[in-house]
Amino acid sequence: MNALVKDPLTWTDVGAATDIPLRGARRVPSPDGDIAVFRTGDGRVFALRDRCPHKGGPLSQGIVHGHAVTCPLHGRAIDLASGELMGADRGQGCAHVVPLEVRDGRLLLGRA
């Protein structure tokens, strides 16, 4: 990053990437509401607001498969990268994506 350009986000360390099991999730409280941090079977990590756009179900309690999570309340599949509902539900809502970076094995959530 250019030294003259200031990062517009504040980054908060929320633990080690390995704290989240493969194909698992963890709920992280934040001032803006709970965040669900996911780790896929291939070790990639994603973060969404812990609220399904359909009925507000806790996404952190959903089933992680591929690069998606299925809401535990009504079975809506959500793409972890975009937050968009998938399949027949596409275009009917979107979960808020939260900036997430991994630095030296640590998970950092971004907040404006």
The domain that holds 23 is classified in CATH as: 2.102.10.10
Q: How many CB atoms sit inside 10 A of residue 53's CB? A: 21
Count up the domains in the chain and report the number.
1
In a domain, 8, yes or no: no
In a domain, 110, yes or no: no
- Asked if residues 33 and 41 have their Cβ atoms less than 8 Å apart, the reply is no
- Asked if residues 89 and 106 have their Cβ atoms less than 8 Å apart, the reply is no
Phi and psi (nearest 5°) for 13?
-75, 125
Q: Which domain holds residue 48?
A: 16-96
pLDDT recorded at residue 55:
86
The string of pLDDT tens digits covering residues 31-81 is 889 999 999 999 999 999 999 998 899 999 999 999 999 999 999 999 999
Region 88-110: what's the mean pLDDT?
94
Q: Distance (Å, rounded) from C-alpha 76 to C-alpha 102?
A: 27
Chain-centroid distance, C-alpha 63: 13
pLDDT recorded at residue 54:
85
